[in-house]
């Protein structure tokens, strides 16, 4: 396994991490928008349920907000403890050995 292969693996991993983080951010933003819009629609239809709907909105918003941080943890794992380097090294070793 030469330096060019390792560089390419890190480059493709960085591009993949960028796409993953962009998708997580976009998904979170869309989720926030849908949660808030549906809560406002519910309050407009039944104003007496406002406390219940706001409580539910904040619970689901917290769950929605945790999603990008979980994705960020996986992205950092791919970036700094790249599992593809070890897999590629063992594949090259197996190909050379047989």
As to burial, measured by CB atoms within 10 angstroms (0-12 exposed, 13-18 middle, 19+ buried), residue 33 is exposed
pLDDT average, residue stretch 78-91: 87
For 21-80, give the CATH class. mainly alpha
Residue 94, CB-side half-sphere exposure with 13 Å CA sphere: 6
Q: Is the pLDDT of residue 97 over 80?
A: no
Cα radius of gyration (the chain):
22
- Tens digits of residue pLDDT in 3-41: 898 899 999 999 999 999 999 999 999 999 999 999 999
Residue 82 scores a pLDDT above 80: yes
The DSSP symbol for 82 reads -
Q: Taking every pair of C-alpha atoms in the chain, what is the biggest distance, in angstroms?
A: 73
What are the helix and strand counts (H, E) for the chain? 3, 0
Give the mean model confidence (pLDDT) for residues 76-95.
87
Between the two ends of the chain, the Cα-to-Cα distance in Å is 16
Report residue 98's pLDDT band, with 50, 70 and 90 as the boundaries.
Answer: low
pLDDT at 50 over 90: yes
């Amino acid at each position: 396994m030469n330096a060019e292969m390792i560089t390419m693996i890190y480059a493709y991993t960085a591009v993949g991490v960028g796409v993953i983080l962009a998708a997580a951010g976009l998904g979170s933003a869309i989720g926030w928008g849908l949660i808030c819009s549906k809560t406002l629609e519910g309050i407009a239809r039944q104003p007496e349920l406002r406390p219940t709907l706001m409580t539910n909105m904040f619970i689901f918003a917290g769950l929605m907000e945790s999603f990008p941080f979980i994705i960020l943890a996986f992205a950092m794992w791919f970036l700094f403890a790249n599992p593809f380097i070890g897999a590629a090294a063992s594949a090259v070793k197996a190909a050379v050995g047989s």
